[in-house]
Every structure is written in C-alpha cells, then in structure tokens.
C-alpha cells in the first residue's frame, strides 16, 4: 500500500491581510517554551477549569512529533499577543488504495473581541496544509464556517445502544425501550481483555474490511498510541482471531458523577465475510456479558458505518436517534444531544476517489471527543 508523507512545514509567519485594520500573523505550530502564554489564553477564553490547562493532557494531544519543542496548533497573533488557535492531531488515513497523511482537528479557540473572521482564516490555513481534515463536535459558529468552506457536514453520527438496567435508565433519562431477551448473555463466555497489541496478534489485511477503506487507519501503531499508551483512561481492548483477520472491540466503562455506568464502545470492526461476521457477533455478545458483569447500565456506540451498526442491531442493540441519552458524560450534559462530523477532502483526492466523502467512516474515538473534562482534576 502506498504511503504518502506529511507536507513540509516551514515555521515562519503567514502574513494575513483580511479586511481588518490590525496586523496579524499566523504560524503552523506553537512554540511550547511559551506555555505560560498558552495557559493564560486557555483560561481567558474557556475558563480556569478547562481540561487543556492540564499539561500532560495538552502534551498528549499536541506534542506528537519528534520535535517536542513545537506543538501542533495553528496560532494567530496580534503582535506578540496570542488571539486564536486551532489544534490538530496528525493522523494516517486509509484512503482507497493508499495511505494519506491528514489531521483530526482538536480545539478551536479565539479571544473575545477577535471573533470576526480570524478563526475562519485558521480553518482555511489547515485545509491548505493537509489533504484530509476532519473534526467532531462542531459548534454552531463552526458549522456555519465549514459549510461556507464546502466541508461535508454530517449533523448526526448514528448511535446504537444496549440497555442493561431499563428501570434506572428510564428514571434518569425518561428513556424507555422494549426489553430485549438477554438470557443468552447468561450462558455466554466473558470476553478476555488484551493487554498488548503487536503484529503477532493484530496485523489486518485491510482488503478484508472494505467498509473501512476511507477513514482513520486503525493499525497497531494507532491503537497502541490511542489506547494502550493513553495516560488518563483505562480502555478495555478485546481482540479475537488470526492477526491478519482479527475482530476488535475497544470500550471504556464510564463511572459518571450521577451514578450511571456506561460502556462507551469506541471501536468495533470485523472481516466482512460470513465467517468474520459470525466472529464479530460472537465477540459482541461476550463483551456485553463483560459489561453486564461490571454493572453497566447501558452501552453505546457512535459510528456511521451501516455494516457495523447492523451487526450490533443483530446483537439486540437499538437505534437511539432522538438524543434521549447523553452524548457528553464527563459531566453528564444534555445540552448537546448528538455528535456531528465535519470533513474536508482536497479536490485532487476527490477527483481520484469520487465517492470518498460519502464512504468516510467515523467513530466516537476519532479526534478529541473521548477525553477527560470534569474528571481531569483527578489526573
């Protein structure tokens, strides 16, 4: 498979000449020696308790290059004053017959008093730097900007849920669904967790997973950095089958401050032949047994791949498309009931792969959406 390289970056200012009376400069990365300035900026724009003021969390997101002196944030200055930023996570994407270096956006902040176009310039700059740019959790302001910039926008990433404790879920969220027969879970084996991801147990032939041909490359390097090496949460990782054709499920059990326990599934995929589907269904049932034994009240999975959602529906999950259950769990916040996706693909890639935008696969794990918020104080 052909692997492309990251675009060359020059750490010099990009002069900006919008219809503004002041002079601004934009840089493609942030110099980490100026951390105190960044810390003050985050506190002023998003409050004293914002999670990114936790330095280990900030570093995990933005210091992913060999050069640890430069953080992956496009930053705008008025003179020496930091006024806006757009963070990004360098990511390898599986793109048809090749691999493409692109980014997931992570955090977009602008100082009050400067929210009149500078943020849009940062969005424009990131599309000039990378051929694939994706993001989740766009605000209304951000949605307006990306729509004008011809991003593909998906308002609702589909979600399926499996409810274990119907009475408790109804009491907390006024959400009632028909009870499914889970007697089979009583007889089902419990999924065994994987503590290491190596090429000996996980080295997929991606031709066996056609539904994933456009999206984050979920290889062993990615999974290790994203889950095994993640310094803040414990993830439950389950792998079954041969290394070349594994079935994988990754979840995190969330103990919310309201006493609701949620099994948030972040990854789930399987070889898409009959044998692979059977093994995928078997692993799902084993994982449901695991979640039930760990006293989860419900499980959820955000993904726009019908292939994977349909198999979960076969395992007695239910479509939850009304936003009755919270998208945000840390803390529980019902103000955002859905998860959205924004996607930019360069004209060259769209010409080469005409349907790539429509076939792009996303899960809740992509980008910056599964992170500590309220709980970061306990890190």
Over the stretch 25-74, which tens digit does the pLDDT of each residue have? 999 999 999 999 999 999 999 999 898 999 988 999 999 988 899 999 99
Q: What is the pLDDT of residue 65?
A: 86
pLDDT along the chain (379 residues), means of 10: 37 43 85 97 92 91 92 96 96 97 94 86 95 90 80 95 96 89 73 94 98 98 94 94 98 95 98 98 96 96 98 96 94 91 96 97 95 70
How much is the pLDDT for 240? 97
pLDDT at 231: 83
Structure tokens at 34: 């100026």
Token pair, residue 40, equals 């003050």
Question: Residue 139's pLDDT is what?
Answer: 79
pLDDT, position 31: 96
- 220: which 2 tokens? 């062993």
| Residue 16 confidence (pLDDT) | 42
Beta strands in the chain (DSSP E): 2-3, 14-16, 24-27, 30-31, 70-71, 73-78, 81-95, 98-110, 132-136, 152-154, 159-163, 214-216, 236-240, 247-255, 261-269, 298-302, 318-319, 328-329, 332-333, 341-345
CA–CA separation, 20 and 30 (whole Å) = 23
């Amino acid at each position: 498979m052909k692997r492309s390289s990251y675009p060359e970056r020059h750490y010099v200012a990009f002069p900006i000449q919008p219809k503004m009376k002041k002079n601004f400069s934009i840089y493609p990365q942030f110099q980490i020696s100026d951390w105190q300035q960044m810390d003050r900026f985050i506190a002023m724009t998003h409050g004293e308790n914002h999670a990114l003021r936790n330095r280990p969390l900030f570093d995990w997101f933005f210091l992913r290059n060999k050069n640890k002196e430069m953080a992956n944030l496009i930053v705008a200055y008025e003179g020496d004053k930091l006024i806006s930023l757009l963070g990004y996570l360098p990511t390898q994407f599986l793109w048809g017959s090749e691999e493409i270096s692109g980014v997931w956006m992570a955090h977009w902040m602008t100082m009050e008093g400067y929210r009149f176009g500078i943020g849009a310039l940062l969005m424009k700059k990131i599309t000039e730097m990378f051929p694939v740019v994706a993001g989740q959790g766009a605000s209304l302001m951000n949605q307006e900007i990306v729509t004008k910039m011809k991003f593909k926008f998906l308002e609702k990433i589909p979600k399926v849920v499996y409810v274990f404790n119907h009475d408790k879920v109804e009491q907390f969220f006024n959400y009632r669904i028909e009870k499914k027969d889970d007697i089979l879970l009583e007889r089902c084996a419990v999924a065994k967790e994987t503590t290491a991801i190596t090429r000996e147990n996980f080295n997929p032939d991606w031709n066996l997973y056609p539904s994933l041909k456009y999206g984050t490359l979920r290889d062993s390097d990615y999974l290790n950095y994203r889950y095994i090496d993640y310094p803040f949460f414990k993830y439950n990782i389950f792998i079954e089958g041969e290394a070349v054709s594994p079935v994988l499920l990754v979840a995190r059990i969330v103990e919310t401050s309201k006493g609701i326990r949620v099994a948030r599934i972040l990854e789930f995929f399987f070889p898409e032949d009959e044998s692979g589907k059977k093994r995928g269904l078997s692993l799902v049932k084993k994982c449901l047994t695991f979640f039930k034994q760990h006293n989860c009240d419900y499980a959820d999975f955000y993904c726009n791949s019908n292939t994977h959602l349909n198999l979960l529906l076969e395992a007695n999950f239910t479509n939850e498309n009304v936003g009755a259950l919270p998208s945000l769990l840390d803390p529980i916040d019902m103000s955002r009931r859905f998860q959205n996706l924004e996607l930019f693909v360069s004209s060259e890639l769209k010409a080469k792969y005409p349907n790539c935008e429509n076939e792009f696969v996303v899960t809740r794990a992509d980008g910056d959406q599964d992170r500590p918020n309220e709980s970061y104080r306990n890190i």
